Amino acid sequence: MPEQHTAAIALGSNLSSVFGAPDDNLREALRRLAAVGEVAAVSSFHTTEPVGYLNQPMFVNAAALLRTALTPLELLRAFFAIEHAMGRVRLVAKGPRVIDLDLLLYEDVVMQTAELTLPHPAMRERRFVLEPLAEIAPERVHPGMGKTVAEMQRQLQKL
């Protein structure tokens, strides 16, 4: 059996699709993630305000832990394939979307390539990422900062 790795993933949606409302899109994405690994944990769904581009509907966000044999780049490409298959179209940066899958953490890997930066460079600044992730992996350590997800969440709440 190939070696398994744990990845932390952020999921988000704020558009309806053929799968239903945004929360249905998250459930469909989680179902599709099962094809690339074992979905080991899923947070509750959080309704959040848009960030950056504000003229759009509210988001539904969640986090998941995925056990997978894929490398980080293979996993990123699998995410893009899932997003594309579910109808994601990238028209506006931080704009509305049927589904968004972000690779936040992959074991203790720290990397920066043209395609992928790990840990996700903005995760420590985003409540909509840290709150769901803290539900399922509060003690998970950010390898670049040496802080747990719970510590990063508490630090962000003070701002």
Q: Is 140 left (phi over 0), alpha (psi -120 to 50) or beta?
A: beta
What are the residue numbers of the active site? 88, 97, 100, 102
User: Which is it for strands 111-112 and 100-106: parallel, antiparallel or unpaired?
Assistant: unpaired
**Residue 27: which residues within 8 A CB-CB, separation 6 or more?**
19
Amino acid at 140: R
Pure H helices in 15-125: 22-33, 72-85
Contact 104, 16 (CB under 8 A): no
Pure H helices in 45-119: 72-85
